């Protein structure tokens, strides 16, 4: 991407430092996760610079100042009228050529990785307290299953326009938040087409043993694992050496798979030849475990991650991290049970080691 | 555990032609009819790890000394609270062990004794180990001085003048007794630190299992294992010699390593050749006191007596160097990985747990190198000298017509040899022109015994005898031989499950590879191994070192996490599955295998025992069709 375009776009993995003011909270988080070896579904951020260039060149910035000047937050009708006018402009006025080219190039490159016409999600990524609350922005401005450039650019504009919903305008007026410098980044990201998916916990949740790592895995999208609708494969691994300590093959009778035509997930039976075998190969199992370990290291506490292996992406790039959150049930615990050996008084005659426990080991009480 | 049992000794079929095999061995080594009720009650497992092939009568000396001395350190020196020694018998030519527990009521009294004794050794580890080395080397030096020369025609004049009064035959008798005694002595020393090494390891092992439930055995072993050990020194010497040969441009002088004299002369004639020969001579003492076997058999070949063996290895290393391969073990990578593993487990601990973990690991790591290094001093060096002296004696007696072949002494028990020696000195002393009686007696007996040994060799041993206990708890049995409750169950089920092409054993060294099997039943066949094959053997010896640079993985019938195959494979970063029970008899050379050293499984990917579910690039199936008319085998 040429230097004049690069300010408008940041792909998740292009190595640039994630700056909140350019990428918004969501965009910055996706870039930093990718950099930390936790590959989220691939995509790019349309930066705040892109929005800024658009509203400046299209004359929208000036108009916004005029329209909002002296607006009464309690005059609902007037707020609605102003909101509609601004959003109409944001959705219709021409985008500057360089900004448009940047988005087109980034989208084309993404389609090269994912396969032509692969559905994407478009989501707003606000930079600050410009909007009522995070959930407002997040919920209202996530558009799923978008295919083709026209649909993508249309929804980028819709995300921009969400800065000026009536509710957002009223919120800023009442909280004295200035409209100068108001901006919005937008995330464009591949929709996950999970062949296999599940969760991984960087400990053994059965006993809180932090030297283990537990993976649940089933065919298709991970929702059925998370909600307990299928019995997934359950694998306990040694977290340090990644050796399999125990594994149970679940029956995995059903799977959810994306259906782009209806833009939903559809449930189907899993064929008999796939129910009896483990849904992850040895190599995939190791990859999932390593990613979970990286997440734990990155966040500095035991993690509970959701992951998927994407059917569209090439091997080596197809393992995706969908979510990572602290494991809360056991995190306060120590590794395993309290050992009985260390509670024995040390024999002073033996210095650094404890003969009492050696005796105990040999007598089979410490097994 | 199922109600299933292994066969009773009396139920095992005697191979054809081996009837009357019991007379090969002394009475105390074979099961006795009058003790049948007691002996059939006990569970015996076969140790084909150390004794993979049938004993000739003289060769029981190694197992008698080793088994007795192992036991004495548990039962009499260290007073281990729960475990006495391990009883041993030979049945149909193979060795079977039965661990002896301490009766419940005696355990408590042993605890303070055990603590005081073990405590003393661990506290004075370095000093006592230094002393050990002096004792062991002293034994070897003395053994080297023993001679078994023919007797003179008359007593030398100087003995007359000095009034010595003896004829010199007593030296022959004394030297023989001394040779046996010195071997016995170093076998006692062998276990002086070995049991302690296992105790320290086991203590750390059990602590790890406690604080990290389900931690793989492999992780624990890796955390205490040394990377640079004396046992690997002989092989490292060969690698250095190969590197030097390449530096000096001597590669073309190693075309025929089997012809030692020609090869060495040709090297000596080359520019810089003398420098290489000096280095070659320097390496031999003591590092060529090294056997391709395991030190327990009279037929074991030692490098310093068969220089074509190290020369052949060097030639192979030179070839690999010229192909641009890295022949050195990945020491730095192994150390880095070990450090990472230790550190990541440590990060999970704090406070007293961390301190305890560090202390136990420290002790195990201190004691551990002995577990491997002693092997060079006893099995290789001591036994190398021992067998050389035995062969010298055998040649001398052969010279008096006692037997047909130079090495036939091995068909006599060691106490029968003493009788034969007295026969020799007596007939010599009285000046009997007919010579000793032995030449009229032994050849016939030896012929009969040779036939018996050959007949016994046609059958493999049973993995175990009689009914196993509910659970195998004896710590040394598990550590040394990999005999666990699960393993015994797997052996018992092998008859039914063996046909699905999956063998289960111990995950002894990590990694997963696929490759072609090479089944090696005898160290003499090692030269058959091709680059990148998978070694399948009843058992391996670490002296096969140079082979481990060539192969992709190892599969053995017998052996636990601390078996030689396991240790050497971790050292060479090769996958290993040990203790499969039957790999060497079920797998055929040439079959494709998938060896999973993480799970401890071996999958046969093609041939008669192919698994029903296979995956991976090597999964294509060869079906062999035999046409009755041609008797031919073809791929279809």
- The predicted model scores a pTM of 0.75
Q: Residue window 588-617, chain B: list those with CB within 8 Å of chain A.
A: 596, 598-599, 613, 615
Give the domains, in start order, of chain B with CATH numbers: 120-224+348-453 (no CATH), 230-332 (no CATH), 497-631 (3.50.30.10)
Max CA separation in chain A (angstroms): 88
Does the CB of B335 have a partner CB in chain A at under 8 Å?
A: no
Q: Residue window 291-310, chain B: list those with CB within 8 Å of chain A.
A: none
- Contacts for B156 with CB less than 8 Å, ≥ 6 apart: none
Short-list A256, A232, A235, A231, CA closest to A246: A235
Q: Cα separation of A336 and B491, whole Å? A: 32
Residue contact B353–A209, C-beta within 8 A: no
Mutation target to probe the A interface, by most A beta carbons within 10 A, among B99, B113, B207, B595 is B207
Q: Which two tokens stand for residue B349?
A: 């601990």
Q: Cα separation of B296 and B392, whole Å? A: 17
* Chain B residue with minimum CA distance to A293: B344
Can you give the pLDDT at residue A26? Answer: 86
Q: Residue window 452-481, chain B: list those with CB within 8 Å of chain A.
A: 473, 475
| Torsion on CA atoms B589, B592, B595, B601, rounded to nearest 10 | -90
Confidence grade of residue B283 (pLDDT, cut at 50, 70, 90): very high
Lowest pLDDT segment from A35-49, A261-275, B79-93, B168-182:
A261-275
Mutation target to probe the B interface, by most B beta carbons within 10 A, among A281, A350, A358 is A358
Does the CB of B547 have a partner CB in chain A at under 8 Å?
A: no
Cis peptide bond N-terminal to A124, omega within 30: no
Instruction: Check: CB of residue B373 under 8 Å from CB of residue B174.
Output: no
Q: Using a CB cutoff of 8 Å and minimum separation of 24, what contacts does A264-272 make?
A: A265/A221, A265/A223, A267/A224, A270/A219
Please indicate whether residue B90 or residue B227 has the higher confidence score (pLDDT).
Answer: B90
Can you give the pLDDT at residue A138? Answer: 37
Mean pLDDT (chain B, rounded): 87
Cα dist from B613 to A245, A277, B497, B580, whole Å: 22, 10, 14, 20
What residues of B are in contact with residue A353 (Cβ under 8 Å)? 122, 203, 359-360, 362-363
Mean pLDDT (chain A, rounded): 83
pLDDT at A272 over 50: yes
pLDDT at A332 over 60: no
Can you give the pLDDT at residue A330? Answer: 59
Q: Residue window 253-292, chain B: list those with CB within 8 Å of chain A.
A: none
Confidence grade of residue B294 (pLDDT, cut at 50, 70, 90): confident
* Chain A residue with minimum CA distance to B341: A240
Q: Detail the DSSP E strand segments found in A191-263.
A: 194-201, 212-219, 233-238, 244-248, 254-259
pLDDT at A352 over 90: no
Please indicate whether residue B292 or residue B1 has the higher confidence score (pLDDT).
Answer: B292
Does the CB of B362 have a partner CB in chain A at under 8 Å?
A: yes
pLDDT at B628 over 70: no
Confidence grade of residue A357 (pLDDT, cut at 50, 70, 90): low
Residue contact A341–B210, C-beta within 8 A: yes
Instruction: Check: CB of residue A334 under 8 Å from CB of residue B104.
Output: no
Rounded to two decimals, the ipTM of the complex is 0.70
Q: Which two tokens stand for residue B553?
A: 């993985």
Chain A closest CA to B140's CA: distance in Å?
A: 34
Which among A169-183, A235-249, B389-403, B483-497 has the top mean pLDDT?
A: B389-403
pLDDT at A348 over 50: no
- Contacts for B90 with CB less than 8 Å, ≥ 6 apart: B25, B29, B30, B55, B60, B63, B96
Instruction: Check: CB of residue B595 under 8 Å from CB of residue B574.
Output: no
Confidence grade of residue B348 (pLDDT, cut at 50, 70, 90): very high
Chain B closest CA to A272's CA: distance in Å?
A: 14
State the DSSP H helix or E strand holding residue A187, giving kind and residue range, or none if neither. strand A184-190
Q: What percent of chain B has pLDDT over 90?
A: 61
pLDDT at B57 over 60: yes
Q: Point out the residue among A240, A352, A356 whose CB comes nearest to the CB of B219.
A: A240
Can you give the pLDDT at residue B23? Answer: 95
Q: What sign for the dihedral angle of Cα A335, A339, A341, A343? A: positive
Lowest pLDDT segment from A140-144, B330-334, B609-613:
B609-613
For residue A364, the 8-state DSSP code is: T
Q: Point out the residue among A207, A335, A351 whose CB comes nearest to the CB of B123.
A: A351
Can you give the pLDDT at residue B542? Answer: 62
Q: Point out the residue among B202, B209, B218 whose CB comes nearest to the CB of A241.
A: B218
Mean pLDDT computed over B485-502: 65
pLDDT at B179 over 80: yes
* Chain B residue with minimum CA distance to A209: B212
Q: Cα separation of B41 and B325, whole Å? A: 55
Can you give the pLDDT at residue A44? Answer: 96
Lowest pLDDT segment from B242-251, B298-307, B601-610:
B601-610
Q: Point out the residue among A209, A354, A355 whose CB comes nearest to the CB of B212.
A: A209
Instruction: Check: CB of residue B241 under 8 Å from CB of residue B276.
Output: yes
Residue contact B206–A366, C-beta within 8 A: yes
List, for residues B99-118, the tens digit of each pLDDT value. 998 898 999 999 999 999 99
Can you give the pLDDT at residue B473? Answer: 64
Q: Which residues pair with B578 in a beta bridge?
A: B506
Can you give the pLDDT at residue B538? Answer: 82
Can you give the pLDDT at residue A136? Answer: 44
State the DSSP H helix or E strand holding residue B416, giving kind and residue range, or none if neither. helix B414-430
Mean pLDDT computed over A36-58: 92
Cα dist from A100 to A6, A150, A157, B220, whole Å: 12, 12, 12, 59
Q: Point out the residue among B82, B211, B340 whose CB comes nearest to the CB of A364.
A: B82
Size of interface A-B (CB pairs under 8 A): 140
Lowest pLDDT segment from A200-204, A276-280, B84-88, B572-576:
B572-576
pLDDT at A275 over 60: yes
């Amino acid at each position: 991407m040429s230097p004049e375009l690069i300010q408008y776009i940041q792909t998740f993995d292009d190595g640039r430092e994630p700056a909140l003011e350019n990428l918004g909270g969501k965009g910055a988080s996706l870039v930093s996760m990718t950099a930390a070896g936790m590959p989220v579904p691939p995509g790019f951020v349309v930066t705040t610079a892109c929005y800024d260039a658009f509203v400046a060149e299209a004359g929208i910035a000036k108009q916004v100042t005029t329209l909002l000047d002296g607006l009464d937050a309690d005059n609902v009708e007037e707020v609605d009228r102003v909101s509609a006018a601004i959003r109409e402009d944001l959705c219709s006025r021409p985008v500057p050529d360089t900004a448009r080219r940047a988005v087109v190039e980034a989208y084309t490159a993404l389609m090269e990785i994912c396969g032509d016409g692969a559905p994407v999600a478009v989501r707003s990524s606000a930079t600050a307290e410009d909007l009522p609350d995070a959930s407002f922005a997040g919920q209202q401005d996530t558009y799923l299953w978008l295919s083709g450039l026209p649909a993508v650019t249309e929804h980028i504009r819709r995300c921009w326009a969400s800065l000026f919903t009536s509710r957002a305008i009223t919120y800023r007026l009442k909280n004295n938040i200035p409209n100068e410098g108001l901006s919005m980044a937008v995330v464009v990201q591949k929709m996950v087409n999970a062949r296999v998916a599940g969760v991984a916990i960087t400990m053994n949740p059965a006993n809180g043993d932090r030297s283990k790592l537990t993976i649940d895995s089933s065919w298709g999208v991970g929702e059925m694992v998370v909600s307990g609708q299928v019995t997934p494969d359950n694998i306990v691994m040694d977290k340090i050496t990644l050796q399999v300590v125990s594994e149970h093959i679940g029956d995995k009778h059903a799977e959810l798979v994306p259906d782009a035509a209806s833009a939903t997930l559809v449930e189907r039976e899993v064929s008999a030849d796939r129910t009896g075998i483990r849904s992850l190969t040895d190599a995939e199992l190791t990859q999932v475990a390593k990613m979970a370990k990286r997440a734990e290291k990155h966040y500095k506490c035991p993690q509970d991650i959701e992951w998927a292996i994407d059917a569209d992406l090439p091997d080596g790039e197809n393992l995706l991290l969908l979510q990572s959150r602290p494991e809360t049930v056991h995190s306060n615990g120590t590794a395993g049970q309290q050992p009985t050996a260390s509670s024995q008084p040390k024999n002073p005659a033996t210095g650094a080691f404890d003969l009492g426990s050696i005796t105990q080991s040999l007598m089979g009480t410490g097994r | 555990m199922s109600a299933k049992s292994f066969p009773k000794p009396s139920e095992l079929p005697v191979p054809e032609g081996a009837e009357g095999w019991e007379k090969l061995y002394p009475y105390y080594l074979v099961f006795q009819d009058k003790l049948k009720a007691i002996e059939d009650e006990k569970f015996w497992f076969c140790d084909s790890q150390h004794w993979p092939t049938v004993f000739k009568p003289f060769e029981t000396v190694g197992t008698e000394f080793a088994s007795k001395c192992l036991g004495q350190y548990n039962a009499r020196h260290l007073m281990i609270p729960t475990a006495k020694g391990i009883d041993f018998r030979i049945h149909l030519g193979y060795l079977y062990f039965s661990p002896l527990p301490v009766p419940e009521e005696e355990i408590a009294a042993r605890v303070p004794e055990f603590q005081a004794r073990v405590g003393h050794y661990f506290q004075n580890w370095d000093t006592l180990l230094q002393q050990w080395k002096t004792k062991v080397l002293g034994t070897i030096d003395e053994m080297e001085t023993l001679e078994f020369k023919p007797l003179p025609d008359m007593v030398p004049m100087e003995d007359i003048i000095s009034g010595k009064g003896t004829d010199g035959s007593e030296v022959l008798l004394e030297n023989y007794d001394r040779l046996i005694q010195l071997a016995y002595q170093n076998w006692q020393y062998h276990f002086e630190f070995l049991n302690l090494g296992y105790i320290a390891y086991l203590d750390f092992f059990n602590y790890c299992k406690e604080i990290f439930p389900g931690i793989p055995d492999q992780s624990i072993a890796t955390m205490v294992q040394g990377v640079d050990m004396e046992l690997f020194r002989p092989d490292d010497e060969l690698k250095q010699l190969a590197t030097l040969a390449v530096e000096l441009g001597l590669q073309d002088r190693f075309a025929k390593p089997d012809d030692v004299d020609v090869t060495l002369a040709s090297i000596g004639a080359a520019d810089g050749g003398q420098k290489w020969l000096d280095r070659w001579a320097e390496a031999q003492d003591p590092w060529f006191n090294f056997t391709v076997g395991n030190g327990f058999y009279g037929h074991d070949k030692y490098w310093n007596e068969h220089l074509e063996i190290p020369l052949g290895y060097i030639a192979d290393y030179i070839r690999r160097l010229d192909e641009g391969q890295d022949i050195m073990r990945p020491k730095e990578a192994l150390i880095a990985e070990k450090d990472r593993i230790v550190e990541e487990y440590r990060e999970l601990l704090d406070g007293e747990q961390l301190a305890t973990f560090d202390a136990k690991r420290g002790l195990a790591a201190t004691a551990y190198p002995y577990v491997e290094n002693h092997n060079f001093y006893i099995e290789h060096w001591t036994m190398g000298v021992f067998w050389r002296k035995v062969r010298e004696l055998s040649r001398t007696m052969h010279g008096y017509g006692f037997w047909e072949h130079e090495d036939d002494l091995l068909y006599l028990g060691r106490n029968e040899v003493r009788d034969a020696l007295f026969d020799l000195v007596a007939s010599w002393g009285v000046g009997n022109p007919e010579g000793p009686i032995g030449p009229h007696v032994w050849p016939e007996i030896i012929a009969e015994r040779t036939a018996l040994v050959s007949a016994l060799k046609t059958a493999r041993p049973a993995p175990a005898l009689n009914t196993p206990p509910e659970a195998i708890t004896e710590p040394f049995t598990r550590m040394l031989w990999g005999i666990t409750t699960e393993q015994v169950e797997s052996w018992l089920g092998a008859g039914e499950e063996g046909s699905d092409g999956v063998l289960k054993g111990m995950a002894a060294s990590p990694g997963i590879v696929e490759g072609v099997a090479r089944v090696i039943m005898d160290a003499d066949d090692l030269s058959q191994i091709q680059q990148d094959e998978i070694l399948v053997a009843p058992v391996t010896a670490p002296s096969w070192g140079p082979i481990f640079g060539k192969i992709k993985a190892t599969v053995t019938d017998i052996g636990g996490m601390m078996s030689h195959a396991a240790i050497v494979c971790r050292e060479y970063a090769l996958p290993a599955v040990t203790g499969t029970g039957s790999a060497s008899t079920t797998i055929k050379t040439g079959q494709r295998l998938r060896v999973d050293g993480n799970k401890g499984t071996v999958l046969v990917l093609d041939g008669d025992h192919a698994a029903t579910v296979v995956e991976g690039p090597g999964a294509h199936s060869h079906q062999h069709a035999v046409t009755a008319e041609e008797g031919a085998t073809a791929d279809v």
